[in-house]
Chains A and B, each alone.
Chain A
Amino acid sequence: MGLVLDEEQTILKDSAKAFFAEQAPVTAFRKLRDSNDETGFSRDLWSAMAEMGWAGIIIPEEFGGLDFGFQGLTLVLEEQGRNLTASPLVSTVLLGAGALLEAGTEAQKNALLPMIAAGELLMTVAIDEDHHFDPANTALAAKADGDGYVLTGEKTFVLDGHVADKIIVLARTSGEKGDRKGLTLFLIDGTAGGVTRERLDMLDSRNAARIKLDQVKVSSEAVMGPIDGGYDALSKVLDRAMIGLSAEMLGGAAAVFEMTLEYLKERRQFGQLIGSFQSLQHRAADMFTQLELSKSVVMTAATAMDEGSNEIASLASLAKAFVSETSNQVTREGIQMHGGIGMTDEHDVGLYLKRSRVAEHTFGSAGYHRDRYARLNDY
Chain B
Amino acid sequence: MSDLDVFREEVRAWLVENCPPSMRTPMGNDEDVVWGGRKANYKNPEAKLWLDRMGAKGWTAPTWPKEYGGGGLSKEEASVLGQELGRINARPALASFGLWMLGPVLLEYATDEQLKEHLPPIVRGEIRWCQGYSEPGAGSDLAGLQTRAVLEGDEYVINGQKVWTSYADKADAIFCLVRTDTSTKHEGISFLLIDMDQAGVTTKPIKLISGNSPFCETFLDDARTPARNLIGRLNGGWEIAKKLLQHERTNISAGGFGAGGRSAALEEVAKEYLGAEGGKIADAVKRDEVVRHKMLERAFAQTLKRMSAESKAGEVSPASSIIKYVAAEMNKDRMELLVEIMGLQALGWSGDYFSAEGLATTRGMLRSKANSIEGGTTEVNLNVIAKRVLGLRDHQ
Map CB proximity to B onto A275-301 as digits: 1 under 8 Å, 0 otherwise: 111100110111011001111110110
The reply on B292 being an interface residue by CB < 8 A is yes
Q: Which of B299, B389, B392 contacts A318 (CB 8 A)?
A: B299
> Which of A286, A295, A378 is B306 in contact with, Cβ under 8 Å?
A295
Contact pattern, B 280-307, Cβ under 8 Å of A = 1, otherwise 0: 1100000110111011101110110110
The interface stretch among A54-62, A167-175, A206-214, A369-377 is: A369-377
Q: How far is the CA of A4 from the CA of B307 in the complex (A)?
A: 9
CB distance from A259 to the nearest CB of B (A): 13
Cβ-closest chain A residue relative to B396: A272
The smallest C-beta distance from B367 to any residue of chain A, in angstroms, reads 24
Residue contact A277 to B280, C-beta cutoff 8 Å = no
The answer to whether A370 and B288 touch (CB under 8 A), given A3-B305, A299-B306, A322-B295, is yes
B383 to chain A, nearest CB (A): 7
Q: Tell me, in angstroms, the Cα distance from A228 to B384 when the chains sit together.
A: 56
CA distance A198 to B281 in the complex (A): 42
Name which of B305, B306, B310, B396 has the most chain A CB atoms within 10 A of its CB.
B306
Known A288-B389, A322-B299: A276·B382 in contact at CB below 8 Å: no
Of A261, A276, A300, A377, the residue contacting B302 (CB under 8 A) is A300
Contact in complex: A285, B393 (CB < 8 Å)? no
Which residues of A from 260 to 283 have beta carbons under 8 Å from B?
261, 264-265, 271-273, 275-278, 281-282
Q: Are B309 and A379 in contact (CB under 8 A)?
A: no
* A370 near B291: Cβ-Cβ < 8 Å: yes
| Structural contact, A296 and B393, CB atoms closer than 8 A | no
Q: Say yes or no: A377 contacts B294, CB within 8 Å.
A: yes
Q: Cα distance A284–B390 when bound, in Å?
A: 8
A2–B309 touching, CB < 8 Å: yes
A293 to B326, CA, bound (A): 10
For A379, list chain B residues within 8 Å (CB).
Answer: 267, 270, 280-281, 287, 290-291, 294
Q: In the complex the two chains form, is B306's CB within 8 Å of A275's CB?
A: no
**B395: Cβ under 8 A from any A Cβ:** yes
Q: Which residue of chain B has its CB nearest to the CB of A318?
A: B295
Measured CB to CB, the closest approach of chain B to A320, in angstroms, equals 11
Given contacts A276-B392, A282-B386, A288-B390, contact A374 B299 (CB under 8 A): no
Q: Is the CB of B396 within 8 A of A378?
A: no
A276 to B392, CA, bound (A): 6
User: What residue of chain A has the Cβ atom nearest to residue B319's Cβ?
Assistant: A292
Chain A residues within an 8 Å CB radius of B303: 292-293, 295-296
A268 to chain B, nearest CB (A): 11
Is A321 an interface residue when CB atoms closer than 8 A count as contact?
A: yes
A115–chain B nearest beta-carbon distance, Å: 37
| Residue B391 at the chain A interface, CB threshold 8 Å | yes
B392 touches A286 (CB 8 A): no
The 8 Å CB contact of A265, one of B287, B305, B391, is: B391
Interface check B28, CB cutoff 8 A: no
Are B302's CB and A286's CB within 8 A? no
Whether the Cβ atoms of A277 and B395 lie closer than 8 Å is: yes
A285 to B386, Cβ gap below 8 A? Answer: yes
Q: Indicate with 1 or 0, residue by residue over B299-324, a CB within 8 angstroms of chain A CB atoms.
A: 11011011001100000000100100
Find A278's partner among B302, B306, B383 (CB 8 Å cutoff).
B383
Q: How far is the CB of B91 from chain A (nearest CB, A)?
A: 27
* Bitwise interface map of B from 373 to 396 toward A, beta carbon under 8 Å scored 1, else 0: 000000101110111011111111
Q: Give min CB distance, A155 to chain B, whole Å.
A: 29
Find chain A residues with CB under 8 A from B279 CB.
378
CA distance A246 to B239 in the complex (A): 39
> Which one of B302, B322, B325 has the highest number of Cβ atoms from chain A below 10 Å of its Cβ?
B302
Decide if B302 touches A296 in the complex (CB within 8 Å): yes
Neighbour of A292 across the interface among B280, B322, B396, CB < 8 A: B322
Cβ contacts under 8 Å, B391 to chain A: 265
What's the nearest-Cβ distance from chain B to residue A295, in Å?
Answer: 7
Instruction: Name the residue of chain A whose CB is nearest to the CB of B267.
Output: A379
Please indicate which of the listed interface residues B288, B298, B310, B381 has the most CB atoms of chain A within 10 Å of its own CB.
Answer: B298
B394 to chain A: which residues have CB within 8 Å?
A: 276
Which chain A residues lie closer than 8 Å to B281 at the CB level?
Answer: 374, 379
Pairwise interchain contact A261-B390, C-beta atoms closer than 8 A: yes
Most buried by A among B280, B381, B392, B393: B392
Pairwise interchain contact B295-A288, C-beta atoms closer than 8 A: no
CA distance A278 to B393 in the complex (A): 10
The interface residues of chain B lying within 8 Å CB-to-CB of A278 are: 383, 386, 395
Partner of A296, one of B299, B325, B392, B395: B299
- Cβ of A71 to closest chain B Cβ, rounded Å: 13
Q: Are A296 and B322 in contact (CB under 8 A)?
A: no
Q: How far is the CA of A299 from the CA of B396 in the complex (A)?
A: 40
Given that A276-B396, A285-B386, A378-B279 are known contacts, is A373 also in contact with B306, CB under 8 Å in the complex? no
Counting from the closest, the 9 A-B pairs by CB-CB distance are A281-B386, A285-B385, A296-B302, A296-B303, A3-B306, A374-B291, A285-B382, A282-B382, A275-B392
> What are 28 sample pairs from A and B whose C-beta atoms fall under 8 A apart?
A4-B310, A271-B396, A275-B392, A276-B395, A278-B386, A278-B395, A281-B382, A282-B383, A282-B386, A284-B390, A285-B390, A286-B382, A293-B296, A295-B303, A295-B306, A296-B303, A297-B302, A300-B302, A318-B295, A318-B298, A322-B295, A370-B292, A371-B288, A373-B291, A374-B290, A375-B280, A377-B291, A379-B290
Q: A271-B396, A296-B299 are in contact. List 18 more A-B contacts (CB 8 A).
A: A276-B392, A276-B396, A278-B383, A278-B386, A281-B382, A281-B387, A282-B383, A282-B386, A285-B386, A286-B382, A288-B389, A322-B299, A370-B288, A370-B291, A373-B291, A375-B280, A378-B279, A379-B267
Residues of chain A whose beta carbon lies under 8 Å from any beta carbon of chain B: 2-4, 261, 264-265, 271-273, 275-278, 281-282, 284-286, 288-289, 292-297, 299-300, 318, 321-322, 367, 370-371, 373-375, 377-379
